[in-house]
Structure 1
Amino acid sequence: MNAFWGTSSRALVPVLIGQAIYVILRTPRLPEPPGERQGGAGRGPALRLLIVGDSSAAGVGVDRQEDALSGHLVGSLARNYTVTWRLIAQTGLTTRKLTKVLETAPADAFDVAVTALGVNDVTRLRPAEKWVDETTALHAILTKRFSVRRIYATSVPPLGSFPALPGSLARFLGHKAEVLARALEQTTRTGSTVQIVQPDWGLDPETMASDGFHPGAALYARWGAELAGHIRADLTDQTGKASTL
């Protein structure tokens, strides 16, 4: 049993349950924003981009997909590439559930995939060992079924800093998020097609959505720009020109 769940910590269970119920009752349920979930944009070398994940990938917290992760990521990459893109994301998806969705989704070919997952795995208390296996299975279906050559996996957000979560619950879920974030590193090895991206979350209430749980427009903009920077750096050739994989 880990240090957080020492014998004395078990007394916190009723407190955690009470705080969880309180959060569920008081937190507004924000919808997924309308907007295109696939398309093309930009000019330059061709780049096929797949974005997959949970409610954060789906853009919950803003009013338009243009202001969400997909909008900022595609917009940034389109400055250097002709981007053909697709978004497969849904509120409530865990890593395992997303893999099942991808098993039946149309299997187009993509060069690069971006993943945004982990929060629902944390809140459902998924064991780290099982989550590593499920993440590995997700990456396998991306590379085999969707022909993805590079995966940019967003690290698990620091739930302990989410404004919506009160003290003990924030510390508990924050610890769980740290455990899964470290476990995610196990899916990357020398020569791996997976790169972990740790955004500068800066989870100030001003950058978060009104529910205190999802990104706001400013955070989506920063996140999208950072992901685009990683992708662009990997694709830029030694002459400094944009290139393909």
Structure 2
Amino acid sequence: MNDIKESLRTIEQNYKIFQQQQFTFIAALEHTRENAHDKIKPVSSIGQVQMYMDHYCNNSTDKRILLMFLNLCGDLSRLCQRLETLHSGNATTNALLEKCKTLVSQSNDLSAIRAKYPHDVVNHLSCDEARNHYGGVVSLIPVVLDCMKEWVAHSEKLPRHMMQNVSSRRAAIYQQPDRPNLHTLGVHHGQPTFVTEGAQTLLSLTEKGRAREERREVRMKQLGGLRRAIRRFLDGPWKPPGKNAF
């Protein structure tokens, strides 16, 4: 959890630097949208900003600030992935995490998002800009940061046993002796992709199947000896052919 807090603080510090350049960010969006002949629709997704930077950005200043925004979004997305591995969570933390993952999705429509007090990013826009163009894109990062900080606050109240690292629990399953071929469970190069309840059940069933097979082989050996004894009893002792054969 301390690592998560430290990563969150680092992203916040980088965001403060970005926030100080909000007018430069809006100017860059204005320039690229004009180059793209796309000034009617609002900026509604991270993917749209990426497209502007990749195809319609003509100067280094605009590219720098757009890249800074995209890097912050990428950092938040990667942090979401780390949060998933920290603990299994409860209904509250899982809902917060799903909200964060949705918000930082490349295609998510963020045009209706608005950061509220104490954030003032929307207040730095004109009424037209806030309502029709940039209110969502400037609100995205502060809203996600608030959501993640709320996730941390709720997570710290969870019982200690729920805080065990999910990856450690998965790894413990794969360290069991006499396990079946892990490639059948979606594992490659010693890296488990995910252990579901079904995979755990498969481990158990494989061990049971092996024990059943061993018991069956023992029974077959016993039955084979019994068959030979019965045959010898029915046939009687061997007698040479001839007149004394009967």
- TM-score tier by shorter-chain length is under 0.3
Larger radius of gyration: 2
Please identify which structure carries the higher helix content: 2
Which has the higher relative contact order, 1 or 2, with Cα contacts under 8 A spaced 6 or more apart? 1
Please identify which structure carries the higher strand content: 1
